[in-house]
Structure 1
């Protein structure tokens, strides 16, 4: 009897899979921190015989090469992917045994990348699961614009054809097990649900219910911004990532933290946005450790800039270090635990910032305070409705556009509060008086703030 175990990397919106039988298993699209995969195999009591990549990933550093080296597994990578290491080159139609009666069949499904390959798990000749990587997702497909702008339209058409190939060759009952689509920016849209089948997708997936021209036009029109760190993931995966080092970073005292801030390095406070607002080290940035830390920190920080982590506990530091390693940020140069009073010298005053909600913003307007409203949501979010008079600068553009924020007290908001907290910390570090709006955007209209659909989205000059 076969099994499929899901290994979820929620912070990046991805899933890896361990699939096998009584003695051996295959790992599909493994995360960089391979200890989780090895532990999953140990719980099943199986040997990892195959490590399989659907494509060279753009949103995380793979652990595939290291996992294959450590376990002695065969490393299957699409033949058309250009890599700098030895692997088993997989072509369309190749069948690779996994365990007694279990095998993987490769299906070329270009679109997310030109070389993208899906794998169908068959038991005794019957298809039982389809690992679709960045091809067919839950109610969606993977983005076609991550490889080369000139290929985007061509790859979008290929996505449509690949989805139809999967639907044509597989029975409705076959589970679809994608890698992306659970919050990952590799997904072309954010679909709901956590499980699906070929039959489910045949009824609801745009790639399967719309003609190719309509599908491509709507897909291309809906593409959102690409995280900046994606530019570094493909080359790292093609070169062959180095083994992961999760040993704890060196401990920093208040003097060292101050010195690193003065040198222009990033000091990142991982505590909750509530705790950060109450008191923090001047100049530090707030990226909550229990949110999508890797996505937004890796997106915003100048690539390669040293980072020092501050958190309440050593466990919080270790969690953040693991998250950041998944996108290739490398080891933090230093870390400190405790609270802000432990991270500042006796002559250094702590900073604080105000928090409020949309009702508070409406009240400030009614009092005639003329607050500056800063919307840091992405362009596609902003197009769906914005507060009248708000300045729109997407969060990922804010570090280079701080000078565009008008003078005055800045009330910064996003869709739910997390990104607003990051933006507020950056404005605070720049010396601006700021209020972080910690509220769901749906409450803005109810507060009487005049939400309307803007004529166009903001774009960087």
Structure 2
């Protein structure tokens, strides 16, 4: 079996994988890279490679493609589905078209379903198929969702997804499967799954690939669909038109207290990215808590407006570059700057702060409990009697939460603090956050969790 020198570039936060293929002649192919190209550039430079080709399997809804940035800065040739009707220079490919990569070949396979223009790319060494970049078609143990284009197309795309998976299943068993969406992605990848596989392994273990009839497949796929961030509805069109080329790396200018107060008065929002204990101890009234961690981008795009200035408040040990790059890869170019000197400068200027109480599992004594995890998480096990509103729905349903002592909880505390900050913005004054999650509560109290919704 032929082998290729392939480097996965995993974005743990978005749950996605891009790939770099060393073509063996000083050039490389990258597949499904985001506009945050730091990992791709690092991998290429470490090997002394130029990024000659950038292939996109579909119009990504969960990140801005970096292909156009590469074309502008490195002369990279963009390979994409002709059915995507991209409005910038690229090589539009149709089903069975091939691209000579200099020894290796890339064959386009039309695999609609996740999106209408979706294309997988089969990598061949001579005539030997080595692996297939399946994007959002065949995933490890799953298939990607089909409800991101339009509600009225969801079922039709699911039927196309069935046909696409059946087509991919005809490839030889030893062919590697290199999907873009993986564990942690909102595009329906199961948690904990391996990020790559083989056709043979998926035929043996992927229940959606083992379904014999289209109707059963469609019912199973549509029944697994959960919520997703609202920015998913914007990015595909941004990718079709072409993301703006960055002339310089994004930055986070310093803003003094007076400038920040003026911006807040004009409708800007403050995003506090410090860890939960720091936010709990003291924060600017009205600030939205989104702790900086790998999933920061997803929750920024779910909870923060994309059309109003955003001001960052961070800790001195938090990397501003990580903040701006995570924002940039989901199209958030509205980070106006950061509060110079952090919270200390705010308090030194005599401005008020507020706090949010943290409670341990054994301190919940008759308080109302609000679980803000995703519905499948809640159904798998929650505190008895806990109310449920997903974090992404809190802002629109804050009035549905009784204004009484409430303990907000998630799995660890980060999402719960985000929900608590939204409730505080809406006027709730007796909100606490549970340190830990349901398993911690069950272990400390010796009580059982409830299941179901």
**TM-score category (smaller protein):** over 0.9
Report the counterpart of residue 373 of structure 1 in structure 2. Answer: 369
What is the aligned partner in structure 1 of residue 399 from structure 2?
A: 403
Runs of 4+ in 1 over 4 A off after TM superposition: none
Q: Does 1:133 find its partner at 2:131?
A: no
Please give the residue correspondences for 1:212-231 in structure 2 after superposition, counting only pairs within 5 Å: 212-231=214-233
TM-score (norm 2): 0.93
The superposition leaves residues 168-200 of structure 1 with CA deviations (integer Å, 9 ceiling, x where unpaired) of 12x222221111123111225435223311121
Match of 1:159 in 2: 161
User: How far apart are residue 240 of structure 1 and its match?
Assistant: 0.6
Tell me which residue corresponds to 2:199. Answer: 198
For the Cα contact (< 8 Å) 1:253–1:343, is it kept in 2? no
Which of the residues 44, 65, 82 maps onto 1:41? Answer: 44
Residue ranges of structure 2 left out of the alignment (5+ in a row) = none
1:197-276 superposed matches below 5 A:
197-211=198-212, 212-244=214-246, 245-276=248-279
Residue 123 of structure 1: how far off its partner (Å): 1.4
Q: CA deviation at 1:442?
A: 2.2
Contact 2:35–2:329 under 8 Å retained in 1: yes
Q: Distance in 1 between matches of 2:330 and 2:45?
A: 26
Distance 1:126 1:85 in 2: 33
Using the alignment, how far apart are the partners of 1:72 and 1:117 within structure 2?
23
Q: Distance in 1 between matches of 2:412 and 2:142?
A: 24
Q: Which residue of 2 aligns with 1:437?
A: 434
The whole-number CA distance in structure 2 between the counterparts of 1:318 and 1:70 is 20
Do the aligned residues in 2 keep the contact of 1:277 with 1:353 (CA within 8 Å)? yes
Instruction: Decide whether the 8 Å contact of 1:261 with 1:283 is kept in 2.
Output: no
Q: Cα RMSD (Å) of the superposition? A: 2.0
Alignment partners' CA distance in 2, 1:164 and 1:155: 14
CA separation in 1, counterparts of 2:59 and 2:375?
Answer: 27
Instruction: Give the unaligned 5+ runs of structure 1.
Output: 366-370, 457-461
Is 1:5 matched up with 2:7? yes
Structure 1 residues 328 and 15: alpha-carbon distance in aligned structure 2, compared to 1, 3 A threshold: same
Query: 3-state DSSP class of the match of 2:237?
Result: helix
How far is the alpha carbon of 1:406 from its aligned partner? Answer: 0.5
Any conservation in 2 of the 1:313–1:337 contact (CA below 8 Å)? Answer: no
**Cα shift readout 1:122-171 (whole Å, capped 9, x = no counterpart):** 112212221110011111111111111122112112222212211212x2
For residues 253-283 of structure 1, give each alpha carbon's deviation from its aligned partner in whole angstroms, at most 9, with x where no partner exists. 2233333333332111111101111222222
Describe how 1:54-65 pairs up with structure 2 within 5 A. Answer: 54-65=57-68
| Residue matched to 2:295 | 292
1:77 to 54, 75, 80: 80
Counterparts in 2 of 1:14 and 1:337: CA distance versus 1, 3 Å: farther
Tell me, yes or no, if structure 1 residue 423 matches structure 2 residue 419.
Answer: yes
Q: Give the C-alpha shift of residue 25 in structure 1.
A: 1.8
Q: Secondary structure at the match of 1:89?
A: strand
Task: Count residues in correspondence.
Answer: 446
Contact kept? 2:257, 2:349, Cα under 8 Å: no
Contact 1:8 1:15 in 2 (8 A): yes
Q: Secondary structure at the match of 2:101?
A: strand
Question: What TM-score do the two structures reach when normalised by structure 1?
Answer: 0.91
Give the structure 2 partner of residue 122 of structure 1: 124
Counterpart contact for 2:58–2:135, Cα < 8 Å: yes
Cα 1:389/1:264, change in 2 over 3 Å: farther
Report how far residue 88 of structure 1 moved.
0.9
Conserved? CA contact 1:281–1:344, under 8 Å: no
